[in-house]
Amino acid sequence: MNKIRVLKNPVQEYAWGSKTVIQPFLGESGSRYKRIAELWLGAHPLNPSSVLINKNWEPLDQFISRDPELILGKGVSDKFFCRLPFLFKVLAADRPLSIQVHPDLEQARKGFEQENRTGVSVNASNRNYRDSNRKPEILFALTPFVALKGFRKVEEIIQLMGKAFYPVISTEIAQLKKMPDASGLKRFYSSIMTMDRSRKELLVSKAAGIDENQAAADPAFSWMIKLSREYPGDTGMVSPLIFNLLHLKPGEAIFLNAGEPHAYLHGAGIELMGNSDNVLRGGLTFKHIDVMEFLKITNFNPEPVSLISPQRRGDSEMVFLTPAEEFELSMIMVDDGSPFQSDLNRSVELMICMEGKADIIDMRSAEYFALKKGNSVIIPSAVTGYRIKGNATLYKASVPLSS
């Protein structure tokens, strides 16, 4: 329990995944034919990582349950009921993900209990709440990354939606002008998402009529056209005109709180979130969509988008701080002249090597592990200290010490 351990991590294959990004991490020749969307590092009961112990693989959630205080640290174990509170992912999107929101803790508990009472299997395709946890998350761009995040300013929505869909939604636009606040925006967006079939067809027809010059002049329109082709007949295609459209550069990061609507459109990134798989989908997917539950959870306050500014911690570590109590993301870059030395006061950590090669050395036992691209480890809280040397870029998930 007080040793660094090697991890083996499961992947998720979804239609929007990539055939090239995550495959090099796996060392499996057959994987190049699969659309792998996510590599999971964590102890979520639906798909936990495995820990190598005496040449045998043990599910990470079971490993932690054997001595949560030593592995997680007493403070983390007490606060999060003996469970690892985060889920760490490498994400690769070749096609757009669904429009989605995540619940807060109270909403997750109520939703999970309600679906349990009604007898919906936790693995059912029509399940909204697969666990009772909230799911704040940070997304760190590994490549140029396109995303939708939160509502635009109301005046922007009126201008863009009017340009694309007048007079089909003239009534809704007039109402939004009279009530340009969160309640008016909820009424406007709900009307768009729940409109009847004949009006939806008119909306789709208007989108198809956007000319190339208009699309070229504003990426919101070009993305709307892409989405309408990807998901014919889905009113979620209007999302780039309603939500903030972001083009993240490699190294930039955003934080998504409960209730904030978002969609990842294209790119690869590191994702770190609360240990939950709760997703309420509103469109742009062939998976289960529950528009009414999506609207119930969504925060309709337009807010400007801000990027997370990393803070340097020592010579080799950059930390991306968020309001989340469950996790903290760090990027560690080591070279021949700049090794990494861990703090003595630390929580449990999961780490993955994304580029290069390095050795991680347990300072107490002098045991070391050679890391290369795709290798990952868990470093229990009981490990008194460790050092990383070599030439590599690694990403570390931990729990903030305040937790």
pLDDT class of 29 with cuts at 50, 70, 90: low
Dihedral angle computed from the Cα positions of residues 248, 95, 41 and 306, in that order, rounded to the nearest 10 degrees: 20
- Residue 350 falls within a domain, yes or no? yes
CA distance 329 to 271: 9
pLDDT reported for residue 383: 96
Q: Indicate the number of domains in the chain.
A: 1
pTM, to two decimals: 0.94
- Residue 335 falls within a domain, yes or no? yes
Tell me what percent of the residues of the chain surpass a pLDDT of 90: 83
Q: Are 377 and 371 in contact (CB under 8 A)?
A: yes
- Residue 367 falls within a domain, yes or no? yes
CA distance 309 to 329: 12
- Residue 150 falls within a domain, yes or no? no
pLDDT reported for residue 403: 47
Q: Which of 83, 152, 281, 346 is catalytic?
A: 281
Kindly report, residue by residue over 318-375, the tens digit of the pLDDT.
999 999 999 999 999 999 889 999 998 899 999 999 999 999 999 999 999 999 999 9
- Residue 362 falls within a domain, yes or no? yes
- Residue 378 falls within a domain, yes or no? yes
- Residue 337 falls within a domain, yes or no? yes
DSSP 20: S
Kindly report, residue by residue over 164-179, the tens digit of the pLDDT.
998 999 999 999 999 9
- Residue 165 falls within a domain, yes or no? no
pLDDT class of 31 with cuts at 50, 70, 90: low
Kindly report, residue by residue over 225-283, the tens digit of the pLDDT.
999 889 988 999 999 999 999 999 999 999 999 999 999 999 999 999 999 889 999 99
Per the annotation, the verdict on 281 as an active-site residue is: yes
Residue 233 exposed, middle or buried by CB count within 10 Å (0-12, 13-18, 19+):
exposed
Which phi and psi (to 5°) does residue 94 adopt?
-90, -25
Average pLDDT of the chain to the nearest whole number: 93
pLDDT of 206 strictly over 90: no
Query: For residue 390, what are the domain limits?
Result: 311-398
Instruction: Read off the CATH number of the domain in which 344 is found.
Output: 2.60.120.10
